[in-house]
Amino acid sequence: MKIGIVGGTGDIGEGMTMRLSPLFDVVVGSREQEKAEATCTMARDTLKSRGQECSLTGVTNQDAVDKGDIVILAIPFKHVVPTLSGLHGFEDKIVISPVNPMEKQDHFVFVPPPEGSAALMIQKLLPKEARLCCAFNTIAANRWKAIDEELAYSVPVCGDDDDTKHQVMELVNKISELQAFNAGPLSVSTMIEPLTPLVLNIARYNKMHDVGIQFR
Amino acid sequence: MKIGIVGGTGDIGEGMTMRLSPLFDVVVGSREQEKAEATCTMARDTLKSRGQECSLTGVTNQDAVDKGDIVILAIPFKHVVPTLSGLHGFEDKIVISPVNPMEKQDHFVFVPPPEGSAALMIQKLLPKEARLCCAFNTIAANRWKAIDEELAYSVPVCGDDDDTKHQVMELVNKISELQAFNAGPLSVSTMIEPLTPLVLNIARYNKMHDVGIQFR
């Protein structure tokens, strides 16, 4: 199974690349292929120094969509519209949105688009044959990158197609100690995406680092 | 310190009464004083059978406001307006809202009032001298009532007055194994209240009981 990461050279994309490439064939996308290749070289060297093999290719964002069976949109909310408007070929792809619409004011504030969530906005931007799920929203970039530490967090996953959601949950459960939870249809993304500004605020006000969530 | 529970005979109020009355002086309010007294008798007997002492008085909701140093609004969202419109004397009281505006459709949906959250609506209904915080939102009634089990959950607390918030966090940290986290000003209640429909849905879709949250 090939995983394409759109925005694979960003903060979250880099960490995902290092966590996913020892487990799956990963196609790292970027606006500029050279940047994607540089991220792959960095990730390959980092993993090699730890004795880990990986499967990694640096490509354009469009190639990441074309070659991925699962496509992860590892982009900030403000880049969603410009990025997706330049890409095509999402039909029948499994697409994962970890995107959180938020702004840093005095603290982090959840600022959803008129659709109610980033995922519901992305659904309108993608062809209706795309199989969209929300996942990984609450895993901070620093946690993805700290590859010597396990990711012992709960991951709420939502989406409208049960088969797709099942495949995404399987993917989540293969990564470190992440545990996927079915949170319902895509519309519950309105309750999942506010978790991220919430935990960022909790980290700040309680002097903690990279707070995550566990359901139990 | 006296704690007044408005709506103390409801599902959550009953469990709170049993958890709090061995630790604090608890004044249990209800629309009908007889109901409050019946809840107190039940709670006193339950605790006594486990060898626990408690301090409990059954009163009207108005008495619970008047006698409580801290007043907990243990009422469903739909009862907030009718209940608060019949009560007065909240000036300088610490008021805790565990209220979540949600509806059960096929699954639970977060349905906030125009203010953005139940807590922000309650702020408008109370006199401006009331010292309002959000807390206990994600602790399910069944968990409060299962007094033979510890409550090992995280509790996000938000409010605009730091001293009040500090006192509420101290209260939270005294109950079972609850751990309070400062989540920021009262406006972040828009990110705390959706947690409850989210965990109710996760419980349902993953066949779990009374899912709670831990931040770590």
pLDDT in tens, B151-207: 999 999 999 999 999 999 999 999 999 999 999 999 999 999 999 999 999 999 999
Distance of CA B97 to the CA centre of its chain: 6
In total, chain B counts a number of residues equal to: 216
A182/B202 CB distance under 8 A: yes
CB neighbours (10 Å) of residue B169? 21
Q: What is the pLDDT of residues A172-208, one digit of tens each?
A: 999 999 999 999 999 999 999 999 999 999 999 999 9
3-state helix, strand, coil in chain B (%, to 5): 40, 25, 35
Q: Which residue of B has its CA nearest to A156?
A: B202
Query: Which residue, among A85, A93, A203, A187, has the nearest Cα to A141 in the 3D structure?
Result: A203
Long-range contacts formed by B54-58: CB under 8 A, 24+ apart: B54/B21, B54/B22, B54/B26, B55/B21, B55/B24, B55/B25, B55/B26, B56/B17, B56/B21, B56/B26, B56/B28, B57/B25, B57/B26, B57/B27, B57/B28, B58/B8, B58/B28, B58/B30, B58/B33, B58/B34
Which of B133, B181, B200, B210 to probe by mutation at the A interface, max A CB count within 10 Å? B181
Contact (CB, 8 A) for A113 and A121:
yes
pLDDT of A3: 98
For residue A158, give how far its alpha carbon lies from the nearest alpha carbon of chain B (Å). 10
- Residues from chain A contacting residue B201 (CB–CB below 8 Å): 183-184, 188, 191
Query: What integer is the mean pLDDT of B97-123?
Result: 97
- Residues from chain A contacting residue B110 (CB–CB below 8 Å): 190-191
For residue B34, give how far its alpha carbon lies from the nearest alpha carbon of chain A (Å). 37
Torsion of CA B169, B140, B112, A190, to 10 degrees: 100
Q: What is the pLDDT of residues A47-83, one digit of tens each?
A: 999 999 999 999 999 999 999 999 999 999 999 999 9
Torsion of CA A6, A12, A18, A20, to 10 degrees: -60
- Residues from chain B contacting residue A143 (CB–CB below 8 Å): none
Residue-range domains of chain B with CATH = 2-205 (3.40.50.720)
B120 phi/psi in degrees, rounded to 5:
-70, -30
pLDDT of B210: 85
Long-range contacts formed by A138-141: CB under 8 A, 24+ apart: A138/A192, A138/A195, A138/A196, A138/A199, A138/A212, A138/A213, A139/A12, A139/A98, A139/A178, A139/A212, A140/A200, A140/A210, A140/A211, A140/A212, A141/A11, A141/A12, A141/A14, A141/A15
Judged against a pLDDT cut of 90, whether residue A150 lies above it is answered with yes
pLDDT of B97: 98
- A76 burial (CB, 10 Å; 0-12 / 13-18 / 19+) is middle
Token duo for residue B124: 């408008």
Q: What does B12-41 look like in DSSP terms, one character per residue? A: HHHHHHHHHTTTSEEEEEESSHHHHHHHHH
How many Å apart are CA A111 and CA A118, to the nearest integer? 9
